[in-house]
Amino acid sequence: MPTSADRLFRRNLRLARKKWGAAITHDLRETLRAFSKDFCFSVSSGDLLLLDQRWYVTHVGLIRLARRNRCHGILADAAPEFCDPKQARWAFRATVYKSRNCRGFVGYGDADPSNVSFLVHGAEMRVAETRAVNRALRKAYGIGICSVEEIGSFAEPPQSQREPKKLPSQPSNGNGNYGGPKVRDRLCQLIRQHQLDATLVKSYATDFCGVKALRDATREQVENFVVHLADWIEKDRNALLCQLNSYPRSEAGAA
């Protein structure tokens, strides 16, 4: 008779195959089986993400694990000797107490504009605290895989603050065609080559261009997005995948 861990693994595997398809190899499947059995991680609850053929646990997954194990408390404080607010550089020390008599499991986290995505510039303090808590929780409960929030990123200035690089000019065909056939083909090529989720890319492109529907974007906006996407893939594919997976799939592509 299947155990609750077996049923959870089957649900996780079914959803993982639906989300990531052929990317789920035999090794990844067996690792997922272990995570399902040992930690009760749930793919549907957002406990795990697959990025660049590696499993990553999320902050949500670690907090849920702590609640299931009746974690006694988590204490997080800034480490002032490693902080420089003027440079947006922060470091935190987190301590996880698994029980009333636990001496505590300590983890450190740091963040500054050089190791976070430009999308969260200005929130380095919160990123540092989250990373510290995640590391302390992973140490307390013996989680060997990295958390997705700990992934660093090459810093990029916001699109409005940098000179946009453009693809070779093409005859303008107006709006509604995603920037013309050559730009559209380049975007499709990037999606296929790097196994991106086309629906999530469309949602990201809509946000990037600042429009309600991608068909309303101008050719120049789409060109800039394609260049931006290619640059980010080359610099830090993991951070890009994390950004794409932040879009709810129920809403992705609704535009």
Query: 165 or 24: which carries more pLDDT confidence?
Result: 24
Q: Any idea which residue has 């500054």 for tokens?
A: 112
The reply to whether 228 and 176 lie within a common domain is: yes
* Lowest mean pLDDT, pick from 47-61, 125-139, 238-252: 238-252
Q: Examine the fold and report which residue of 127, 150, 173 is the final residue of a domain before the chain moves on.
A: 150
Total structural domains in the chain? 3
Is residue 61 domain-resident? Answer: no
The reply to whether 79 and 15 lie within a common domain is: no
The reply to whether 125 and 179 lie within a common domain is: no
Band of residue 181 on the pLDDT scale cut at 50, 70, 90: low
The reply to whether 22 and 72 lie within a common domain is: no
- Of 143, 180, 179, whose CA–CA distance to 64 is shortest? 143
Token pair, residue 226, equals: 């394609």
Is residue 41 domain-resident? Answer: yes
Is residue 59 domain-resident? Answer: no
Q: Report helix, strand and coil shares of the chain as percent, to nearest 5.
A: 50, 15, 35
Token pair, residue 17, equals: 């195959």
The reply to whether 143 and 180 lie within a common domain is: no
Portion of the chain with pLDDT greater than 90, in percent: 48
Q: Examine the fold and report which residue of 150, 179, 203 is the final residue of a domain before the chain moves on.
A: 150
Mean pLDDT for 148-165 is 54
The reply to whether 86 and 140 lie within a common domain is: yes
Query: 187 or 251: which carries more pLDDT confidence?
Result: 187
The reply to whether 100 and 126 lie within a common domain is: yes
CA angle at 117 for the pair 130 and 162, rounded to the nearest 5°: 150
* Lowest mean pLDDT, pick from 42-56, 83-97, 162-176, 226-240: 162-176
Residues 6+ apart with CB under 8 A from 55: 28, 31, 32, 35, 48, 49, 145
Is residue 58 domain-resident? Answer: no
The reply to whether 127 and 192 lie within a common domain is: no
The reply to whether 167 and 227 lie within a common domain is: yes
- Of 84, 109, 115, 85, whose CA–CA distance to 96 is shortest? 109
The reply to whether 122 and 171 lie within a common domain is: no
Is residue 57 domain-resident? Answer: no
Asked whether the CA dihedral 176, 179, 181, 184 is positive or negative, the reply is negative
Interval 114-151: pLDDT, tens: 888 766 778 899 999 999 999 999 999 999 999 999 88
The reply to whether 169 and 240 lie within a common domain is: yes
Q: Is residue 32 pLDDT above 80, yes or no?
A: yes
Query: 66 or 241: which carries more pLDDT confidence?
Result: 66
Is residue 181 domain-resident? Answer: yes
CATH of residue 79: 3.30.160
Instruction: Determine the structural domain holding residue 35 and report its residue range.
Output: 4-51
pLDDT at 134: 96
Q: Examine the fold and report which residue of 97, 130, 150 is the final residue of a domain before the chain moves on.
A: 150
Is residue 56 domain-resident? Answer: no
Contact by Cβ (8 Å): 211, 231: no
Q: DSSP of 101-127, one letter per residue?
A: T---EEEEEEE-TTSS-GGGTT-HHHH
The reply to whether 37 and 101 lie within a common domain is: no
Is residue 25 domain-resident? Answer: yes
